[in-house]
Structures are given as structure tokens and as C-alpha cells.
Structure 1
């Protein structure tokens, strides 16, 4: 009988990619956890062979443990942007529930601890809270050796260039990509978020090897100028890069201040300081930005 892997956020970008990869791999039964089991996305996963179960990270530890009952593995992803500071509580609860449900292997989607790595200079809550959840999970594994934990770290999503950070058309008809990515500092890691799926699947297939291991991944490491050049090449429209100082970018929209600090962290420290991206490359192939945008060109009107 196949072991069950339960996937939080199964209808989201990360969870959905993990469900797809696990189903394709075929070694595990997949339980897709979602708040709305009747949504079109949830029903599509059911049609592909996943068991769809209702679970909400606002549920109690007992309720979450019940949703995870019988699971060998759990993929956990949390979303700061819908609950903000509550993300820490939700992540800890889900980890506690996995332990209570006798889950053997938890894979958590974490991020760098910006405020710690920058020695207090740069605070990026949607990174830092995940790093705190990671530490809680590591503590649980240290106290309970049978509870194996592993971690995966995604960089800036290539998909963001078609949504939140799409190049804008100026009055003269030209396009510009405006980001607080300082050209005088380091380039930025970027990846197709769908590539997280095969990586996580590979981690679940080798719990001993990946016990306590953090696996970052990237498809390309690029400057703002290079991103604009690749968009130009793949969209057929000329796009130039416009560096916006972080303090200016911070005024653009609600949440922009945190985004500006995130880009500053990328520029100064990289997405995964001190971590080895070669591990992910040994598990699966990651698409370059040009490969991704060739398949999914940005529509610039």
C-alpha cells in the first residue's frame, strides 16, 4: 500500500506544483489539503487522482492532526500575505499537528532569516517568520528523532514578472521594468515556481539523505538589465530596466516597503546566503528565465 503525502496549500502555486509532481512520480498517494474542497482547482486535483481533504491553517492542532491522519509525509507552505504576523502561529500549529499525527517526514517551504543574516539591518517579515517556523520544526525534530524534517527555499518567482512586476508602458510607447534591484550590487536568483514540485518529490524519496537539509533552488542568476533583455527577446517588445531606489519603491503600493527591503536583501546578500544550490540541481532540472519566458511570454500590449 502506497504511503500518503499530504500537501498544504494544494491549490496554490507551490502546493499545486508539489501535488502534480508527486502524482507524476507515482510512489505516494497524494492528499491535497485545501480550505475549499469544492473549488474548480480542488476538483481538478481530485480528477487527477489526489484525495482532496478540507484543512485550514486557522484550525486547531487537533483538527489539523485529524486531516493529516495516516500521512507518512507532509509538505507545508504558509502564506504571510493573507494572515501577516499570524503566519508564525499557523506554521507552528501545522508542524505540531504533523508530529501529533505521527508523520514521519515534514518538508517545509522556508526562506532566509533576513534580519539575522543582515545583523538587524533588513527586516523582511514574510521571510523572517518562515525562518522562525523552520527553527520550531528543527527543534521538534531534535526532540523527536523519528520526526524527520527537510526544507526547500524558493527564490523570486519568474511568474511575478507577468503579474506584480510586469513592465509598464510609458507615454512614448516604450516599456520599462522598474525594480529596486541595485545594479551596483549583486544579481538576483529567479526560478519557475513549478520547479519546486520535482525537488520536493525527490526529497520525500530520500528522507535519510535530506534529514535536516535545506534545499534552495534557482533557474537563473540575473541583473535587472539582463531580466529586461530576456523579456525583450521573448516578448518581441523593447524593455529597458529602471532602477528605483528602495525608499522610492516603498511608496508605490501597500506592502511595497517590504518588497523594497526584500530586493535590497537579494542585492546585498543573495537569496540563500551560505546554502548550496547544487543539491536541487541533483534532484531535478530547473528552467532558466529565458526558457520560462519563451514558453510563457509576457504579453505587452
Structure 2
């Protein structure tokens, strides 16, 4: 029996991976979480998933959590400190919360790698990461800290642990399709059309998206089966924001009205935490101008050489209940 260790068992990415592998013949799942007694963590016990306490900020706790792993799925949550009231008191003088989250996430990634390299018999290390936005934009975009921190984790592994790098596949995770239900800003214009307020570049560039609950497990399974050394674009759909919006309106029989394009500063002001809008806004502009993988040689899921069926944007729209989004627009 092979063992997959899933970091972030109760999160969007980790739960999708654990769900798929809990039904996958020949595999056993061990999920790690800071609070194994939380209701979300406890639900996994009925699915025959081993739930283990470990903290990414405590390297000593990771060694036992990783013991015996055939494969590890590595995920770190950059945004978690944004929503913690305690974070403000932890900032250094003059430090932004974005910079704090960068440092914290990078250290967590290093802790994971330091523990993973010691695992005897480890065959595959799959890491949810992103490209180095500062590097590929040549310093134009300096606030996409959640891309940069993840890219630095990969650099750390490549430079310090070439043996682990030789077992690694990287997933450059696309935007979550569920963000359309939770975090986008729609309005009904005076002419009756539906418009979206968003930060976007002038080009009609592709924006990769993934159905987190249905597909991240499938994507990680393919990354484990595929040969190592790949940078995979984590996307079930990779079309432009304009085409995505037009299709969403068409399926719901709503008149498409286009975009109310905001600046990064405007976007930052409408989000609840200072710095959050700049982080996400610059990410959107970076992706529109340089692509989600920057200048990396990125492999599409369908080109991995192993089966990797993912949900398209059209399928996702038809599968989901959109009543809470559409009702205010009527």
C-alpha cells in the first residue's frame, strides 16, 4: 500500500487531493493539520484518512508526519495571516502584511523541504507553486508576493536538495473557478447589461482556471504518475476573461455588458484588508502581460502523458448553483 501525505487537509486544495486518493486503489492517505480535532478534520476519519497533527512552522513536527510517505503533496497558504487579527502585532517596523506573509510562507516551504528530503522511499514530491513574477516581469510587478514566495521555495529545493528536485513536479495553480461565486464584483448597468468590475490589462490574454474541489485531486494524481521535472499549468480551462464572462452570461441568458476596469489602487480600496487588493490586482496584470507561467516552459495537463480529465469552464457553470450571484442582478 502506497502512502500519500497531504499538507493542508482541510483546505480547498488538500481536501480535493485527499478525497480522490481516499478512493484510489492501492493508496492510503495521511492528512496533516494543525488541529486534528476540528470538525472539518474529524470528518476525514470516516473516509479512512489518517489525520495527523503537524505545524508547518514547526519543522520537528513534520518529520514524523512525513514518515513512510511514497508521495507528498505540498501546499502552503500565503493568505492565512491576512485574516488573522494577531498578524498586525507581529509585523516588524515598516513591514507590510504582504511582506510578512511572504517571509512566513517561504519559511514554511523550506521547512517542508527540509523534512521531505529525509523521507526514505519517497518517490514523488508534488508542490503547489507559482512562477517568479518579479523575475519574469523584470521588476515591473513587485507586489505579487504569493507568487514570489512559492517560486523561492522551488529555488530553495533546486539549489539545496537536487535529489528532492529530481522527484518533484510543480503545479502552477490557476485561479479558482469558485472565485466567480464568491469574490467577483458584478452589477446591472442602466441599459440592462451585466458588467464586471475588475483589474485587467489591455490584452485579451488567457487566464487559467481550475475547479478546485473536483479537479485538483485529479491534477495531483497525474503529477504523481507523470515523470518528474515538469512545471504543470493547473488549469481545466485557459481562455480569456472576456470569453469567460461572455460564456457565463450566455449560459445564464444575461446580456453581456463588458468590464468596469479598475486600477490596482481602486481595487485595493474596495477589499477589506489594505494590501490584499494590490496583491491580487498586480497578479492579474502580471498574468495578462506575461502569462501565468512567465517565461517558464509550462506543460498543459493534457500533455502530461497520463490521463488527466479536468472540468471546463462551461461544465463548471452548468454544474454549479449561481442563484446567490444572479439574484441581486435581476
TM-score, normalized by the shorter chain, greater than 0.5: yes
CA offset at residue 235 of structure 1? Answer: 3.6
Matched residue, 2:298: 275
Structure 2 residue aligned with 1:72, among 70, 73, 89?
Answer: 70
1:135-179 per-residue CA deviation (whole Å, 9 max, x = no partner) reads: 11223441x369622211111111111111152456887542211
Matched residue, 1:5: 4
1:214-240 per-residue CA deviation (whole Å, 9 max, x = no partner) reads: 211322233333222222234444453
Q: Which runs of 4+ in 1 moved over 4 A?
A: 169-174
- RMSD in angstroms over aligned alpha carbons? 2.3
d(CA) in 1 for partners of 2:119, 2:155? 20
1:96-122 per-residue CA deviation (whole Å, 9 max, x = no partner) reads: 111233361221101011001111111
Please tell me whether the aligned partners of residues 199 and 284 of structure 1 are also in contact (alpha carbons under 8 angstroms): yes
More displaced 10-residue stretch of structure 1: 89-98 or 33-42: 33-42
Matched residue, 2:320: 296
More displaced 10-residue stretch of structure 1: 192-201 or 117-126: 192-201
More displaced 10-residue stretch of structure 1: 146-155 or 40-49: 146-155
Please tell me whether the aligned partners of residues 210 and 216 of structure 2 are also in contact (alpha carbons under 8 angstroms): no
Aligned pairs for 1:145-294 (under 5 A) are: 148-169=167-188, 175-194=194-213, 195-206=215-226, 209-210=227-228, 212-242=229-259, 243-253=261-271, 254=273, 255-273=276-294, 274-277=297-300, 278-280=302-304, 282-294=306-318
Distance 1:166 1:13, change over 3 A: farther
1:172-217 per-residue CA deviation (whole Å, 9 max, x = no partner) reads: 87542211123434232222123221121122234xx12x222113
CA offset at residue 30 of structure 1? Answer: 0.5
Distance 1:173 1:38, change over 3 A: farther
Aligned pair count? 295
Please tell me whether the aligned partners of residues 7 and 30 of structure 1 are also in contact (alpha carbons under 8 angstroms): yes
More displaced 10-residue stretch of structure 1: 234-243 or 31-40: 234-243
**Unmatched segments (≥5 aa) in structure 1:** none
Structure-2-length-normalised TM-score: 0.82
Matched residue, 1:81: 79
Please tell me whether the aligned partners of residues 5 and 69 of structure 2 are also in contact (alpha carbons under 8 angstroms): yes
Please tell me whether the aligned partners of residues 57 and 90 of structure 1 are also in contact (alpha carbons under 8 angstroms): yes
Matched residue, 1:91: 109
d(CA) in 2 for partners of 1:215, 1:102? 26
d(CA) in 2 for partners of 1:146, 1:188? 28
Secondary structure of 1:188 counterpart: strand
Secondary structure of 1:93 counterpart: helix
d(CA) in 1 for partners of 2:121, 2:268? 41
**Unmatched segments (≥5 aa) in structure 2:** 82-100
